[in-house]
Amino acid sequence: MTRRMVLVIAMLVGLVGCSDSSPDHAGTLAAIRQRGEITWGGDVQGGEPYVYEDPDQPSRIIGFEVDIMDAVARRLGVRARMIQCAWSNLMPSLERGDFDIIANGLEATSERREQLLLSAPYFVYAETLTVRTDSDARSVFDLAGKQVATLNQTYAHDILRMLYGDAVKLYEGNEEPYTDLALGRVDAVLLDNIIADRYGCTPSHPTLKCLPYDVARGSYVIGVRKADPELKQAIDGALAAMRSDGELERILRKAALWDARQVEPPPAEGQAIRPRSVDGEMVLQFFAAAWVTLELSALAFLLAVPVGIALAVARLYGSAPVRHAARLYIELFRGTPVLLQLFVLYYGVASLVNLGPVEAAVLGLGLNYGAYEAEVYRGALLAIPRGQSEAARALGLGPAQTLWHVLLPQGLRLALPPMTNDLVSLLKDSSLVSVITVIELTKRMTIAAVDLRGWLLPGLLCAALYLALSFPLSEIARRLERRLVRDQRPLAL
């Protein structure tokens, strides 16, 4: 148990970073000039138009932020190199020294200014509300009791949270909130106009409309470590020069991002929510998330067991087509990522079957784990001595009776230890369902980590709750095993 805890902590501390270069804060600007290269962190998952893979040449990263950074670097007399990093980890990775600056839709907010030096704005965006064309909502204040959605950890999230608390539905990708809006799974999406224009109010979503007024304005800035004021100054100088000689306008026009907002007086800094502290409410939220995790895992496993039994029996005793179908199912579900299966179930077939996120999560995890259980049960059934089925047949039991009364009870006993493994593993794999907007324990931890500006405390709380869930499960399994498997003596060696 201790070892697992150490592992979890090691992962939390280690994996938030995006590269292993060691931090060297002293004179970053000098170091950049000496290297001839400035590194900046961004996430290609942010997609067009920020930073994305060139459709014509996918090994090349393009986007208006690439152009801006190339121009800034040129004015500093160096080259620019992007370093890929998950967006939500950009700030801790910058602190670790994985790259020199952040330039990826980083919104200027007062709380970010507490942690980072923020450059002058290079782009002014507007928070835009998107609703279905039949909606009569006119502003963010008309959405009480409605399901509002946005991306995790954005300024839009802060705004919505101020208005509607925790009822906000969170997504990780640009496309999915609008897909769900069109499907009626959510009622409104609040996001930057860049995203709303490109993913929401497009010909592919004829039933969506973007409300014309700006819910709020904000600006994208370059984030610099607090220890590097001379670097921030140099970048501000470069940006100011780009603004005055028209290069910034050219770059933004090229990406079709230039609008009147860029020349109006810059917006006031976003008023973000104060960092939270670990309070009773947060602990309650963690417990609620742990309950979601437990509920999902238990229901998914309750589905996986009968699916697994049916598949194992089909593989062992079915006719040739049945055997092959079972084998195909097992290979398909075992051989493809469960993440993908969840996406397909929730988004892919949404036009045919509109599953809720929890239903899709239970179904996806259950069907996936069913494939694993099938092989466990097949192995267990094969491990039963041949004489058992002969004795049953000699008593006159038919095939189904032999299976039900003699083979399955013994097989399930043999399968108990690996089943316990799978259940505990499922408990942790259930964190994958956050991609389909379910807030379970791991997701709660990442949200809390942002709110608290730190990973350690939420990480420990999360680990403790996972342990608190998995340990009793293994204990129940151990007792069940002791009760069911009469003869537990290991074979003598």
Residue ranges in contact with another protein by CB under 8 A: 385, 387-388, 390-399, 401, 405-406, 409-410, 413, 484, 486-487
Give 273 or 485: the residue with its C-beta nearer to another protein: 485
Query: Minimum distance from CB of 325 to another protein (Å)?
Result: 22
Question: Which CB, 249 or 481, lies closer to another protein?
Answer: 481
The answer to whether the CB of 128 falls within 8 A of the CB of 211 is: yes
Please, which residue, 280 or 396, has the CB nearer to another protein?
Answer: 396
Candidates 236, 237, 225; CA nearest to 26 is: 225
| Closer of 19 and 389 to another protein (Cβ) | 389
Nearest residue to 488 (alpha-carbon basis) of 414, 421, 420, 422: 414
Structure tokens at 406: 């003699």
* Nearest approach, Cβ of residue 384 and another protein (Å): 9
Neighbouring CB atoms inside 10 A of 197's CB total: 18
User: Which CB atom, from 311 or from 392, has the smaller least distance to another protein?
Assistant: 392
Strand extents, DSSP E, 6-152: 37-42, 52-54, 57-62, 79-84, 101-102, 116-118, 123-132, 148-151
State the minimum distance, in angstroms, from the CB of residue 59 to another protein.
60
Give whichever of 413 and 428 is closer to another protein, judged by the CB atom: 413
* Nearest distance from C-beta of residue 487 to another protein, angstroms: 4
Q: Closest separation between CB of residue 380 and another protein, Å?
A: 13
C-alpha torsion angle, residues 274, 128, 53, 241 (rounded to 10): -80
Closer CB to another protein, 45 or 389, in the complex = 389
Which two three-digit tokens encode residue 272? Answer: 């973000």
Q: How far is the CB of 403 from another protein (least distance, A)?
A: 12
Place of tokens 């409309």: 209
State the nearest-atom distance from the C-beta of 489 to another protein, in Å: 9
The burial class, CB within 10 Å (0-12 / 13-18 / 19+), for 394 is: exposed
**What are the DSSP E strand ranges found in 49-134?**
52-54, 57-62, 79-84, 101-102, 116-118, 123-132
d(CA 59, CA 40): 18
- Least Å distance, CB 372 to another protein, is 24
Nearest distance from C-beta of residue 491 to another protein, angstroms: 13
**Distance between CA atoms of residues 307 and 403, nearest Å:** 16
Amino acid at position 138, single letter? R
Between CA 49 and CA 55, with CA 52 as vertex, the angle to 5 degrees is: 100
Nearer to another protein, 334 or 393 (CB): 393
Please identify, using beta-carbon distances, which residue of 36 and 398 lies nearer to another protein: 398
Tokens of 378: 């097949």
